[in-house]
Structure 1
Amino acid sequence: MFEEDDLSNVFAVPDFREPSKWLQDQLPRADTGFFALDLTDTELPSLCNPPDPQPSELFTLPAIDPAPQQEEPNSTEIPDFTFEEPSVEEEAEVTDFWLGFDKPAAQLPEYKTWEGFQSPDIPSKKPLFITEAGPGAFDALIGLKEDPLQIGSAVFTVVEAETYCNAVLALALGRDSVFFSWQDEHEAFKPALPQVRIPAYSGKAIQEVQRSCLKCGNTYRQLRKFVDSTYLKNPTPCRVALASAVDKALLVIQSSVALHHQHPRSILQVRSLVAHIYTTLRQFESLVSKIRRDYLDEDVFVIVFQQAQSAEYAETHLRDMMREVLRRVSKPWIELVEEWIGTRRELGVPLSKHEVGRQKGFIKVESETYMDDFGDEVDEVDFRLDTKRIPTFMPEDVVKSLFEVGRNLRFIRSNHPGHPLSQESTISSSRPPTVEWLFDWNSVVQLEHRIRSYESAVFEAIKNFSLQGSAKTATPTWPIGNSATYQLQLFGLDENQLQDKLVLSIQDFAKPIADSTSEDLLGIIIRERLSDVTTEIASAGTDFTPHWSLLPILSFGSIISAQSRIVGRETLKLLFTSHNLREHLKLQKEFQLLGNGFFCSRLSHALFDPDLETAERQSGVAHQGGVMGLRLSGRDTWPPASSELRLALMGVLTESYEGPLHEDSRPRDAEKNELPGDLSFGVRSLSNEEIDKCMDPTGLEALDFLRLSYKPPAALGAIITPVILVQYDRVFKLLLRVLRMQYTVNRIFRDVTARESGWQDVEDVSIRFCFEARHFISSLSSYIFDIGIEIPWQAFEKLLSQIEIDLGAEDQSTFSTAVLSPDRLREHHSQVLDRIMLALLLRKRQQPVLKLLDDIFRVVLKFAQYSRLQNAGRKAHGQGGTTAKGLYKMFKRNVEVFLAVCKGLSEKGDYGMKDTAGEKSTLGRVDALEGNPIAQLILKLDMSGFYSKA
């Protein structure tokens, strides 16, 4: 019972060994006698007296092992048995009687704490929490229906911990177990028991772990479904590469768990492991969820690139994992790039221009229709770049260079199979750098060194080829199979040799299949992260790496640029040396642009001279065998028949091409000499309205049907394109009109001023018209040929000469410099024609000005008809404006309007400059037009301001 002094102490512990007070009151001296506890009482009975310390030795037994005598304590006090814990000082003074035993005393299990582990000398305190009393006490407490802890775990079913841990671990890997099963209709796992927990854990804690495992298992199943459906329904290269990477990741996760985490020790270990597994799977789930069924391979490539970019500043292993996935997914596209630029052997049947409609990746062969500014359509079959199959993160200049180098390389392979760039051995021996993703600056620097070595090796190979010549027999280019092929060596062997081969084959097949994930970089990254889940996660945000916007140009731009310099240089060299590009361009200048004076004279007489023999077929009249012409200005029937065209224009082109100096050595049938590009006269395709205008011999459009037909060689198709030929044709059409006007005004001048003319009493207004028209046409012709055509063409010739000088240089230092590519040369060629058309008022926006010029030409033609009638002695009456005075008034008014409009154009300081902006290169501008060409036209036509109004 409580002591009287401790009644006020509510925390006092009762003394359960204290005898009852009623016993003390009823029994006399209950605390004495045999059962008395006070053994030191002096009034003890003799029975309880202690024996003599030195008893009689009569009945003593001899000591077998005499022990050393110890002094007995004088006191015979018996320690009081109390429940109070002695202090440290008292324990030190009490003698431990148990130390004399042979075996150590068994220690009772006690609760271990971090405080006791860190400070073992400090006495431990009794546990204060129920969770410290062991799993049994915790389970008993939370199992009460009253739920004193209010955690709601009383209704949960308690299962064995080891079995449940194995089940949730299998669940995280997408497997069925006794606790979880896969539901196909819901595409998710379903637990067999709704509420389950394990000993020592609350239901909510286990439910949270189970929820994370369910999420991980469902994600695993979804990724597995994506892999299977990709191989079955969408086996495109990039999709298959992505599915292979996902499959590899799933396989590595399974193998890692089976090797290192097959028997988890606690649910906490399972939770930590599943968290790391789900972190890995979540990256793939986020990636796969963005891919649609109708996406192209390049779209998948872009999605992977963006996903890898988002993981750049995440955990280190996630960054490395997504980089490796990007390498895998981009590998098919990168291999196609290497095949196209020539650093990798092209597999399968190579692309050619003859296979219209075929496509291989981002390259296709198709007929593309071009439409000029007048609406005319021109078809051209060539390699085309499918921009939809180009990843959006690729820079436009890199893509353009990529396409150009591949097209130029196909030109070399198809036209020059013996060239070093067409030989697989030359490329492989030069060790071209592989195109791959580079994520650090050191790799970029190493790539630059490899590119320099590659360029030097290729330069040496090309230089040796140029010195030795191409006399050697060319080997087949880019064979389909490897050079070292396997030979089936079975015939001619005896029985023992065949048996040895079979034994070796059996031994090879008997070897175990190698683990594909052991040396796989993706497997290594995932396995290292899962092998030790306690490792602290490192962040990748502090690494100094290039920004992701620079990765495409740093990884792909260098090798593409190097290959573009090599292939572009050799292509231009072959165009100038082997295909006479300079001669074909000169041919266009002399004939399409009427730069050959002899050709202009011959063509002018063949078309307009009325004194030549007619080529028109007449019944009963035989040809005299003289020089025949169409006699446009001296006939009433038009247009001429095809036979007339052949007779009148026969020999004009050949004689003009060979020149008048070779007339004696020319064969009689001159047309049998083939001209470059099969240059010949042809008939232009016209609409019905244009055909009606051509049928009037006195009209301005009488010769619009005549054109020059030229077909460039296939090797020069990249420089002289169909669009460029259309531009030449438009210039030739205008020049033919100007040529006709020159002949017309000269004829008018002769009719008016010649003494033998039949025109009597020539009016002053006719003479004024004759001189002014002749001045206008001659000044216009001088402007067209000397300024509009000659100045831009001379600049183009200067550019071609500079290119030939650079290509002929043997210095290796100039090999890696930027040179003009064939595509850039084609652009320069087109720009020259644009400048010419701009100066000749042939652009679409200049059509109103050109229409005014056509009106002036029509007035001159009407006066020429009037002059011809006057010269023949016939009068033209009652035709309104057909009198000399009316025609002169109309001519002067049209010239004034034309000059006024031209002055308005010349006042624009930037007229024509918008077309030349941004078209500069390392070799300078194409043209050399100084200022506004329209101002020079005005200066030639009206230097004194005669036609200017006040």
Structure 2
Amino acid sequence: MFYDLPPLSPVEDDIENLLKHPFVPDIYSKFFVPKLVEKPQDPILEALKLASTNKSQWARKGKARVTISQDAPEEIHIPRNPPLADIWTAATRERGPESQVLSWDDLRPSYKPTLSTGFLSEQDDLVFAAARQIVQTRVQIPGTEVVYVTQAELLAAFRMTVLGTSSLFHVWDAKQERFVQNGAKEGKAVCLLIDGKDEVASNSVISRFLSIGTLMRRLEILSNSLRKRPPTEGPSVYAFAHALSVIRAYLLNALSRLQSPTILKPITSSSLTQVWVEHALYEEILVAISDLYGRGIDVSPRDYADLDTTAIPLLDRIYSHLNQHIERQSPRIILALFAFTLTITSQGYLQQVSRSVAYGGDPIRKTSRVVGEKPDPYAIKVNEETASTAESDEFPDFFPSELVDVLPPARKSLSLLRAAQPDHPLLKSSPNHPPITWYWTEAQIQSAWTYQIYPSTNIQIQPGGDSSERYKPEILDFQVFDQEPGSHLTTSVVQSSTALVLEEFIATFPNGLPSITPTLPHLTSLILSRLVHHASSLSNALLSLLLQSTGTLNIRAHLELLRSYFLLTSQSFKSHKLDFDEKPTNVLVAQKKTQAFEHGPWAVGLSTPLLHRESWPPADSELTYLLRTVIVDSLEKGDFLGRGKAVPKVLEEAEYRLGFATRPNTELWNDPFVMEAMDFLLMDYKPPPPIDELITSDEMSKYSRIFAFLLRLTRIEHAVQVLYRMTRDIQNPLFPTLNASRKRLHHFRFISHQLVSSLSRYISDTVVAGNFDPFLERLSIKAPALLHDGRPSGFADVFEVARDHSAMLDDILAACLLRSSQKKTREILHVTLKHILEFTIVMGELYRGRIKENEAALRMDELYHAVRSQMRKLVQTLKSQVDRIGSSSYEIRSIPDNRIRQPVGGYEAMHYFLVRLDVSDWWADSRTSNL
């Protein structure tokens, strides 16, 4: 490229003039900055000297003084037009009033500038480029081809590049997913230089347009690939792809409109800068969007982040980026684009979450089809995945905690409410349920805020009166066919297929959130408040139904039934239970009818009808009839605590829901003389739906463990009572000749009775009544509003009832020493009761005359000392456990009458058992050891 510049004076002429002098001076640089003198500076004096120098500068004619060095001659006369200096030396011609600027880039006097300025950088681009090429010659890099372009050519090419289309200078590289120089051969680069700009400035200008085009093309590739995702990922990924496509269409329209005025205007020196500035916002938009899915301009395809497009992670990602831009106060259009993406992508998920709790319709089920029609696997998979995603207990991180806490129980309450009362109003769709969706304008937020403060409680089952009049109730669902096509779709679904919706969305998007929701989390809580209110209402509806029902759905009546039979609080059942023998004469009568136990010991405490077979445990029709009779007779004389209206309904079904069962025969209970002899017997209860979802098999297992323990204790209790009957005849004592043994018998009988009765009363009066009764009181309609500690006594939902019920059973197990951590203490108590049972059996054999008096005395002494030793261990172990718990846990507190009393607890209740046992320390008294 050539420019019309004046020829330079020959350098050889200057060399000849210098050689004519007798002394040839050294060659110095033509420009020199003198070294500053080390002396104090006087700014005022220096300013005066500088003004004097500038004033006299114009008077100098024909020569210039240039300082070479301190040792150089004082003056060197340089020709007026020296070689290589005629362009850059300051001009000596008068410039007049238009410009008095002298600078290094001032051209020669013969050059007529197009502008009145004296700066070369503000002259014509070609002049500036030519001068710059001469003075600052570009370093030639091997393998690099330099292409000079004008602004007009570059702007014409960039109009295509920013839209993601290849142009004259840049083409799309599918492997790198970016625009590269057109014509660049392998191993050779192409450098574009814009007229009037160097390589750095050119690359800076070009990089913005290339970034916009590259990010637009990558956005298109991503949206197309998201549409090809498998249906198992759910509909959120397709909504996300649609939102990105709409954003891309909007940006294409905006970029096209931005370039239209540029085409009509003439190209000037500032055209490129103007276009470059106008595209800055769109580059910022695309950079922000590309950060969302991890495909920024500096990321190569092999380093793309793996984008999780399932509903919850995808929504969390969009929400997090939107919140970050709100906190950074990014431009309004960027906030609007992210808000639009969140609105479109979350619409399906929010709808399914709402429908999972019957808000706006029932959850999506499998697609039904006509018989013979081929199934649509796509639709089925989408629906199944949507339903499973929406009904899981995992939620996006931006869901408020109150919604996360209420949704899982609300979903369970919904299924139970359907089973309990299918026609409940909350199970019907209502026009008062607007869809849960995002809104951003201040008017919408104010409206939602008003609803949150004054929520509507009027639930209309039918959307209108005309349809109900035209249709019978059984075919009322067919009214949907009278609606206009597409009327069931929301406005956003109908219009979201065009970029016009996005333009309207951006136009109405506010500059900031209103003061009532200053942050995005506040706005999120407000938007989801309707769903929180509905889910809470659903849980409360089921709770009210199960607490106030007068039929078989009254959960309090079922718990009273379980307490009466499994915890032996019903006196009618306890008195009929297996007819535990209390009369030794019955055994003598029974022995005449049996062959197996004719020559064996007497199983004291067991029912006589159970001992007439040759094997243990008994398993025949007679046993089944006996057990059935026990239940029926006790139900007829039921003595429930509450005896409300719901109790008779529950009693009517209890006859076939409550029953006994037997375990397979094992070595643990095949001996009627051991404590475990009755463990073959089980009690079972089958609560009706939906009560069976609250009283589960885990709770029934806890009831069974308590029942087995109480059954053992009851057997020993009856055995001690039989022992009293055997020894009440003073005229015929069991030890007629051994006076010391007779005294020990009475003492041993007393301490055995004291231990067994204390344990029995502790369980019935303290453990069961102290834990179960306060819990049942909370389930009463007229229950006090506060607990003993001032907390509300009510329940949030039925599942809290189930949790507290399970915790209460755990406390009873702990108070009965039946937890796994209490194994050591439980074994000590077990051995103690085992010795007492054996003591009654030995006395029964003596009573029947089957063993001698001295043999019974020796065995009684061994058992007596064993019981004393075990009691000592038991009391020490209980004291250590009570000391670890602390005294504050079992303090007796004064509770007002308008509050529910405090339960005794589990481990804390052992203090009461210790108080009942530790009355005289007879096991440690040496005076009682020889009785």
TM-score normalised to the size of structure 1? 0.68
Q: Could you say which residue in structure 2 is the equivalent of 1:322? A: 338
Deviation string, structure 1 residues 610-633 (Cα, Å, up to 9, x no partner): 73897999899xxxxxxx956567
Change (3 A) 1:540 1:446: closer
Q: Of 576, 582, 597, which residue of structure 2 is paired with 1:602?
A: 576
Deviation string, structure 1 residues 18-76 (Cα, Å, up to 9, x no partner): xxxxxxxxxxxxxxxxxxxxxxxxxxxxxxxxxxxxxxxxxxxxxxxxxxxxxxxxxxx
Aligned residue for 2:861, secondary structure, equals helix
Q: Could you say which residue in structure 2 is the equivalent of 1:417? A: 422
Q: Could you say which residue in structure 2 is the equivalent of 1:729? A: 704
User: What does 1:138-177 correspond to in 2, within 5 Å?
Assistant: 138-142=128-132, 144=133, 146-148=134-136, 156-177=146-167
Superposition deviation, residue 840 in structure 1: 1.6
1:570 aligns with 2:541: yes
Deviation string, structure 1 residues 298-335 (Cα, Å, up to 9, x no partner): 11121112211221123232233223322222222211
Superposition deviation, residue 889 in structure 1: 0.7
Change (3 A) 1:641 1:7: closer
Counterpart CA distance in 2 for 1:442 and 1:925 is 50
Deviation string, structure 1 residues 894-949 (Cα, Å, up to 9, x no partner): 112112222222334548959xxxxxxx9867736699422221222232333356
Deviation string, structure 1 residues 532-555 (Cα, Å, up to 9, x no partner): xxxxxx997998953455554444
Deviation string, structure 1 residues 405-440 (Cα, Å, up to 9, x no partner): 22212322333222211222xx22xx1354344779
Deviation string, structure 1 residues 238-257 (Cα, Å, up to 9, x no partner): 22222222211111111112
Aligned residue for 1:520, secondary structure, equals helix
Does the 8 Å contact 1:605/1:629 carry over to 2? Answer: yes
Counterpart CA distance in 2 for 1:198 and 1:703 is 101
Does the 8 Å contact 2:236/2:311 carry over to 1? Answer: yes
Counterpart CA distance in 1 for 2:682 and 2:765 is 23
Q: Could you say which residue in structure 1 is the equivalent of 2:173? A: 183
Q: Could you say which residue in structure 1 is the equivalent of 2:866? A: 890
Counterpart CA distance in 2 for 1:880 and 1:757 is 16
Q: Could you say which residue in structure 2 is the equivalent of 1:435? A: 436
Superposition deviation, residue 267 in structure 1: 2.2
1:256 aligns with 2:257: no
Superposition deviation, residue 636 in structure 1: 7.1
Is the radius of gyration larger for structure 1 or structure 2? 1
Q: Could you say which residue in structure 1 is the equivalent of 2:632? A: 654
Change (3 A) 1:221 1:8: closer
User: What does 1:341-420 correspond to in 2, within 5 Å?
Assistant: 341-346=357-362, 348-349=364-365, 386-387=392-393, 389-420=394-425
Q: Of 309, 312, 322, which residue of structure 2 is paired with 1:308?
A: 322
Superposition deviation, residue 87 in structure 1: 9.9
Aligned residue for 2:683, secondary structure, equals strand
Q: Could you say which residue in structure 1 is the equivalent of 2:378? A: none
Q: Of 211, 217, 220, which residue of structure 1 is paired with 2:207?
A: 211
Superposition deviation, residue 679 in structure 1: 0.6
Superposition deviation, residue 339 in structure 1: 0.8
446-455 vs 877-886, which moves further: 877-886
Q: Could you say which residue in structure 2 is the equivalent of 1:901? A: 877
Change (3 A) 1:180 1:461: closer
Letter in 2 for 1:277: Y
Counterpart CA distance in 2 for 1:792 and 1:364 is 39
Letter in 1 for 2:418: R
Q: Could you say which residue in structure 2 is the equivalent of 1:230? A: 226
Aligned residue for 1:682, secondary structure, equals strand
Q: Could you say which residue in structure 2 is the equivalent of 1:591? A: 565
Change (3 A) 1:642 1:482: farther
Does the 8 Å contact 2:581/2:718 carry over to 1? Answer: no
Does the 8 Å contact 1:517/1:524 carry over to 2? Answer: no
Change (3 A) 1:948 1:802: farther
1:753 aligns with 2:767: no
Does the 8 Å contact 2:616/2:670 carry over to 1? Answer: yes
Superposition deviation, residue 674 in structure 1: 4.9
Does the 8 Å contact 2:817/2:823 carry over to 1? Answer: yes
Change (3 A) 1:250 1:202: same
Superposition deviation, residue 176 in structure 1: 1.2
1:716 aligns with 2:714: no
1:828 aligns with 2:807: no
For structure 1, the residue ranges without an aligned partner over 5 or more in a row are: 1-5, 13-82, 89-108, 113-125, 352-356, 366-383, 463-471, 489-512, 530-537, 621-627, 663-671, 807-815, 915-921
Change (3 A) 1:857 1:819: closer
Deviation string, structure 1 residues 722-770 (Cα, Å, up to 9, x no partner): 2221211111111111111111111122223336979453732222211
Superposition deviation, residue 881 in structure 1: 11
Change (3 A) 1:941 1:528: closer
User: What does 1:48-87 correspond to in 2, within 5 Å?
Assistant: none
Counterpart CA distance in 2 for 1:130 and 1:406 is 77
Counterpart CA distance in 1 for 2:113 and 2:479 is 77
Does the 8 Å contact 2:113/2:123 carry over to 1? Answer: no
Letter in 2 for 1:131: S
User: What does 1:694-713 correspond to in 2, within 5 Å?
Assistant: 694-713=669-688
TM-score normalised to the size of structure 2? 0.69
- Cα RMSD for the two superposed structures: 4.6
Counterpart CA distance in 2 for 1:514 and 1:820 is 41
1:683 aligns with 2:698: no
Does the 8 Å contact 1:311/1:319 carry over to 2? Answer: yes
User: What does 1:619-638 correspond to in 2, within 5 Å?
Assistant: 631=609, 637-638=615-616
Change (3 A) 1:175 1:642: farther
Aligned residue for 2:779, secondary structure, equals helix
Deviation string, structure 1 residues 89-110 (Cα, Å, up to 9, x no partner): xxxxxxxxxxxxxxxxxxxx98
Superposition deviation, residue 217 in structure 1: 2.3
Letter in 2 for 1:792: N
Change (3 A) 1:877 1:643: farther
Counterpart CA distance in 1 for 2:700 and 2:658 is 12
Counterpart CA distance in 2 for 1:700 and 1:736 is 9
Does the 8 Å contact 2:419/2:689 carry over to 1? Answer: no
Change (3 A) 1:152 1:554: farther
Superposition deviation, residue 887 in structure 1: 0.7
Change (3 A) 1:675 1:359: farther
Counterpart CA distance in 1 for 2:841 and 2:198 is 114
Identity across matched positions, percent: 20
Superposition deviation, residue 864 in structure 1: 2.1
Counterpart CA distance in 1 for 2:852 and 2:518 is 85
Counterpart CA distance in 2 for 1:838 and 1:522 is 67
Superposition deviation, residue 607 in structure 1: 7.8
Superposition deviation, residue 166 in structure 1: 2.6
Counterpart CA distance in 1 for 2:281 and 2:126 is 31
Deviation string, structure 1 residues 267-317 (Cα, Å, up to 9, x no partner): 223322443222111122111128625563211121112211221123232
Change (3 A) 1:288 1:481: farther
Counterpart CA distance in 1 for 2:664 and 2:520 is 54
Superposition deviation, residue 336 in structure 1: 1.7
Counterpart CA distance in 2 for 1:681 and 1:615 is 27
Q: Could you say which residue in structure 2 is the equivalent of 1:337? A: 353
Counterpart CA distance in 2 for 1:444 and 1:924 is 42
Counterpart CA distance in 1 for 2:554 and 2:305 is 52
1:800 aligns with 2:793: no
Superposition deviation, residue 215 in structure 1: 2.7
Change (3 A) 1:859 1:831: same
Counterpart CA distance in 1 for 2:610 and 2:732 is 20
Change (3 A) 1:844 1:609: farther
Q: Of 271, 275, 283, which residue of structure 2 is paired with 1:278?
A: 283
Letter in 2 for 1:419: H
Counterpart CA distance in 2 for 1:256 and 1:616 is 108
Aligned residue for 1:787, secondary structure, equals helix
Change (3 A) 1:602 1:439: same
Letter in 1 for 2:823: Q
Q: Of 816, 834, 837, which residue of structure 2 is paired with 1:858?
A: 834
Deviation string, structure 1 residues 152-207 (Cα, Å, up to 9, x no partner): 89973233533321322322222112222122233322211512334444443222
